[in-house]
Amino acid sequence: MAQGKTTHFGFQEVPIEEKSHKVAEVFHSVASHYDLMNDLMSLGIHRLWKRFVIELSGVRSGMRVLDLAGGTGDLAKTFSERVGNKGQVVLADINSSMLEKGRERLVNLGKVGNLNYVQANAEHLPFPADYFDRITIAFGLRNITQKEAALHSMYQALKPGGQLLVLEFSKPASWLTSAYDIYSFWILPRLGKLVAGDADSYRYLAESIRRHPDQETLSAMMRSAGFDYCDFYNLNHGIVALHRGYKY
């Protein structure tokens, strides 16, 4: 990776080789309060967004599923139930604190047998080519430094006929912008300070959403990575979008 290049970390410009370390610090900090903060930040609506991912994925018995940036395992939990004993679910996360929280939670729920846990960088996935039937990544793509490399790596790991589903914050309808900015930059950091004792990490999360590609741009990036029939669904007026692409 070339020295001297920069990338964004929220609204800051940082050396490209430092971003992954800074993102790691954020998620080490928020891991212990991650689920609670998700419920508070979205008023529980994140569960409906993830349910939409699950239903649209069409995951069924015997499939292999990779849940990238899987965090505390919301998606992996349901996928493990759907693929059954003949299937496999891999919960992968680059952050060791988040991965450990996910493993602990799912083991406590009795989800064992068809679940594996892998600490992995999405830009260089350590899996065979043409291996997974489905790959999902929920609220993780915006934190990846080289998004194009990650999308290409996901494409390589999918079987022909497989699908990638990307759930991510996106660009909301224009009439929502002012209220959304007040919530993101005023309320959210204060909520993070009150609940998690960490305003800066939640300020970064708000900033990272603004730097993430909008709906059309991300669809174009997915097509450039090789995906066909790319489409997206705006949820809650575009605050979140679910992108889908196929490998043929």
Query: Residues marked as binding for S-adenosyl-L-methionine?
Result: 72, 93, 121-122
Measured distance CA(69)–CA(136) in Å, rounded:
9
C-alpha pair distances (Å), 49 with each of 42, 119, 129: 10, 25, 29
240-246 and 228-235 as β-strands: parallel, antiparallel, unpaired? antiparallel
Alpha-carbon torsion angle 77, 246, 157, 19, nearest 10: -80
Structure tokens at 50: 């993830």
Annotated binding site: 72, 93, 121-122
